[in-house]
Structure 1
């Protein structure tokens, strides 16, 4: 009876440890997990399983390993939030696989994706002809996002015989108070234009801006650090820290 009792105690400890640690790690969309997040989650689960069932070794050893993985995971989360550059090192960034109906072979090779796999992804988005694609992006979580050309979108300007506008993506201009000059040049805008637009939003300094981007319709979207937004849409009745 001693072994089953030990397993029961260790399983209970493991259960509540995982419950606590999962709350500390925070919420993250399962669909947005990168390959590293996925492997890290499997490793943590494997360590937890060993902690619960491997009575041939001390529980403290496995509990320490589990705690180290948790601390490192939270540390990387904070680094990713504080530093956009380090966040891209951790999770990579979107890769353009197709542009204006053309496959970018060098990017496909870099992402180690075959043309057959790309065509399968297009079909899964109900696109059966590569000519219909304006831009196809490989996201950090491994999914492929597709922007169809204007004339191939359902019930759009092309159907109403209105002038067609070139398809565009949202272009980030400011991230955590820092201007992204390359993107500004890409959209053929100057810093003076950006500052004049910010002043129209009552903003005098880049440091006030959390995120700013040119939308596909060429309008500027601005989100400030200090939004003064009421929390009247909060549906939670839980007042805990997480």
Structure 2
């Protein structure tokens, strides 16, 4: 067999074997590199390259070595799941870099981190001013997480005493001009409904790049032709406006009549509708 053919065959075998090992080791191997995972990744990559190009050695010995590394890596991960001491020893522990707004220089030296690198990492977390940082910690994988001082934290509806409705993930119902029946059925709709919604905004399904339906049944679309402006869904705003109009009409009716019973009825209906509006408002102002 020619050498170039051997290289192709060995490379293909190594790719398949590496793919199987990666699936076996799990997603953590590619998402969170610990010290040992970092070493394992480098070694397995080097072994795979050797298996592909070193034609003088027996290729199956490289596969054996790869399998041993995978087994050892799985054993280490199992040990980490069972023992916190093993986790701390292998992956190290988190290091506090800023506490109560004060930079801990000794911990910076321990992690071999300069002040410029610290500021760079803080900027990566949108903390451009050191004076705004209350707490910062370096995780075992090297990532730095930051907690801003309370006065610099962004406001949330909870801070303002505003109730908001729960929300669920949107369902992608159109991709590349094709209707996706399964996610559409998940929202309780069908093709007739989506075609009707597209007709309302004057768009054909062929021109839709991505279409999503949120938990309130509103359709949002992004078109292939970016020059076309698509109106935002207004169902919730229209419903809120209609309810307020009805409540205002009831108040007007109560003021326009002299009959006490009728006036009382209109006033009670207006109060009840006002209470309903207050209850459903969090659902309609998202």
Shared topology, TM-score over 0.5? Answer: yes
Match of 2:105 in 1: 105
Cα offset for 1:156? Answer: 5.6
Question: Cα gap change, 1:156/1:8 in structure 2, threshold over 3 Å: closer, same or farther?
Answer: closer
Match of 1:163 in 2: none
Distance 1:128 1:30 in 2: 29
Match of 2:50 in 1: 50
Asked if residue 6 in structure 1 is aligned to residue 6 in structure 2, the reply is: yes
Q: Is the 8 A contact 2:25 2:70 kept in 1?
A: yes
Cα offset for 1:83? Answer: 0.8
Structure with greater Cα Rg:
2
Question: Cα gap change, 1:143/1:51 in structure 2, threshold over 3 Å: closer, same or farther?
Answer: same
Cα offset for 1:105? Answer: 1.0
The answer to which of 78-87 and 20-29 deviates more is 20-29
Output aligned runs, 1:208-219, within 5 Å.
none
Distance 1:109 1:120 in 2: 16
Distance 1:49 1:38 in 2: 17
Cα offset for 1:19? Answer: 2.1
Distance 2:135 2:61 in 1: 50
The structure whose residues are more often helix, as a share, is 2
Output aligned runs, 1:24-103, within 5 Å.
24-28=24-28, 30-103=30-103
Match of 2:118 in 1: 118
Give per-residue Cα distances to partners, 1:20-54, cap 9 Å, x unaligned: 21222122163421243223212101101111221
The structure with higher relative contact order (CA 8 Å, sep 6+) is 1
Q: Which runs of 4+ in 1 moved over 3 A?
A: none
Q: Alignment partner of 1:135: what SS?
A: strand
Q: Alignment partner of 1:127: what SS?
A: coil
Question: Cα gap change, 1:83/1:6 in structure 2, threshold over 3 Å: closer, same or farther?
Answer: same
Cα offset for 1:72? Answer: 0.7
Aligned residues: 160
Give per-residue Cα distances to partners, 1:109-133, cap 9 Å, x unaligned: 1111111111111122222222211
Unaligned stretches of 5+ residues in structure 1: 161-242
Cα offset for 1:90? Answer: 0.9
Q: Alignment partner of 2:93: what SS?
A: coil
TM-score, with normalisation over the residues of structure 1? 0.61
Q: Is the 8 A contact 2:122 2:128 kept in 1?
A: yes
